[in-house]
Structure 1
Amino acid sequence: MSISTIITAAGKNSRMRKDQISRNMDLKNKLILPFGDKTVLETTIDNALSANIDECIVVLGHYASEIKEAICDNYDSSVKFIENNPVDVGLSTSLFNGLSNSGCDYALCITGDQPTVTTETFNKMIEVSQNSDNPEKTISILRRRKYGLLDTAEGLGMPFVAHRKNLMKYLENEDDNLNPILRKIFDDGYVFYGIKEKNKKELLNINHYEDYLNLLD
């Protein structure tokens, strides 16, 4: 089975911008803040590219030109960049647009502000999906509370692995956060399997500037 990575990098960056303003800092999209010798988004992309995937698609929207100027030259052939049109859409629409540009059977879905999720964890998610009794009806997902076979989808989000076309059916005509959609998928009888993190930082997204500083530490 072929696997595409879809990385959403299209958000408004509103919480980070608010924090930067309160600290009298220059405004800069969180995805192009430095993270080691790369940016946040480049680290996320590189961790995904090192996993057992067949293609990588990055979905841009707000601040697309700023992000592309910062990183696109580093990924001439390895990453396909697409842009939301219109840009002011929810996360589910960004993900749907990315999936629509893929021809793979399955998708590893990631947000661009998850640079601490390791290639090892991505591969574990892919492995669990591929080896399940019914891969088309299995969601392999980074756990938030419990791990192993899950009895609820409450609190869950990206990253996860899912059958691409089945996932698209749930995302089509939706413009929302992902958790309500994942709960609906769960209620329809899909198996959800929570993957245990390699370390605690894998469970953290970068929403606020303090989150960014904590992950740098």
Structure 2
Amino acid sequence: MSISTIITAAGKNSRMRKDQISRNLVLKNKLILPFNNKTVLETTIDNALSANTDECIVVLGHYASEIMDAISDNYDGSVKFVKNNSVDVGLSTSLFNGLSNSNSDYALCITGDQPTVSTETFNRMIETIQNSENPEKTISILRRRKTGLLDTAEGLGMPFVAHRKNLMGYLENEDDNLNPILRKIFADGYVFYGIKEKNEKELLNINHYEDYLNLLD
């Protein structure tokens, strides 16, 4: 079972920019804000590279040049950076682009602003798929509500592990956020397992500047 990590890092950064403007701060993409002596994105990449996967693909779009300039480690040979053909696309299109650049059976799908999710948690998500009776129709996801077998599609989001080609079938020709797509997959009878976080900060999404301050706390 081969597994690729797909990290989406192509967003508009609009909520963070709005917060930075309101606080009279220098405008800076949230993915290149400092965290643990690295950037947010580098920390996410490093945690993913330590997981039990075969390759790592990072999808860029908005602010691609700014992000690449801020990455101190060029990850030569360990990370493949790909760019969306158009920057004005939804998360589903970015993820599809990353998946299209892989030949693996399964994909660990992460957003670039999830530096708090540990390698240990990624590996638990992967192991859940590996131990599933029907891995092609199973998705393991960092829980937002319940853990274990999920009986509702509420709160679904990244990170998650899924069968690459099956996921691409749902993403193709879509240009949307992932939540409605994951709900459709759930409605089609896929088994979803919620994986418990290692600590509370793993559930933190860095959308606003206050989220970033909570990250540093």
TM beyond 0.5: yes
Map 1:165-204 onto structure 2 (within 5 A). 165-204=165-204
Instruction: Tell me the residue number matched to 1:98.
Output: 98
Deviation at 1:70, TM superposition (A): 1.1
> What's 2:61 paired with?
61
User: Structure 1 CA distance, aligned partners of 2:64 and 2:72?
Assistant: 10
Deviations 1:15-55 (A, max 9, x none): 00000001111100000000011100000000000000000
Report the Cα distance in structure 1 between the residues aligned to 2:127 and 2:68, rounded to whole angstroms.
32
Q: Supply the distance in 1 between the matched residues of 2:77 and 2:32 (Cα, whole angstroms).
A: 20
2:31 paired residue number: 31
Identity of aligned residues (%): 89
Corresponding pairs, count: 217
Q: What one-letter code is carried by the residue in structure 1 that aligns with 2:201? A: K
Structure 1 moving runs of 4+ over 2 Å: none
Letter in 1 for 2:166: N
What amino acid is aligned across from residue 4 of structure 1 in structure 2?
S
Question: How far apart are residue 74 of structure 1 and its match?
Answer: 2.8
Q: Could you say which residue in structure 2 is the equivalent of 1:212? A: 212
**SS of residue matched to 2:71:** helix
Give structure 1 stretches of 5+ with no counterpart.
Answer: none
Q: Distance in 1 between matches of 2:150 and 2:112?
A: 25
Task: Tell me which moved more, 51-60 or 69-78.
Answer: 69-78
2:41 corresponds to which residue? 41
The one-letter code matched in structure 2 to 1:180 is: P
SS at match of 2:85: coil
Structure 1 counterpart SS, 2:8? strand
Matched residues in 2 for 1:71 and 1:103: separation?
26
Counterpart of 1:78 in structure 2 is 78
CA offsets per residue over residues 183-205 of structure 1, 9 Å max, x none?
A: 10011110000000000100111
Q: Could you tell me how far apart the structure 2 residues matched to 1:72 and 1:8 are?
A: 19
Q: Matches of 2:200 and 2:173 in 1, distance apart? A: 35
Partners of 1:150 and 1:13 lie apart in 2 by 31
Q: Secondary structure at the match of 2:81?
A: strand
C-alpha distance in 1, partners of 2:26/2:106?
Answer: 39
Q: State the superposition RMSD in angstroms.
A: 0.7
CA distance in 2, matches of 1:172, 1:150: 25
1:72 Cα offset (Å): 6.4
Match of residue 3 from structure 2? 3
The residue that corresponds to 1:144 in the other structure is 144
Deviation, 1:73, is 4.3
**TM-superposition CA deviations, 1:157-183 (whole Å, max 9, x none):** 000000000000000000001010001
The residue correspondences of 1:87-126 to structure 2 (distance < 5 A) are: 87-126=87-126
* CA distance in structure 1 between the aligned counterparts of 2:147 and 2:94, rounded to whole angstroms: 27
Distance in 2 (CA, whole Å) between partners of 1:54 and 1:70 is 25
Deviations 1:49-103 (A, max 9, x none): 0000000000000000000111164311110000011110000000000000001
Distance 1:133 1:153 in 2: 21
SS at structure 1 position matched to 2:58: strand
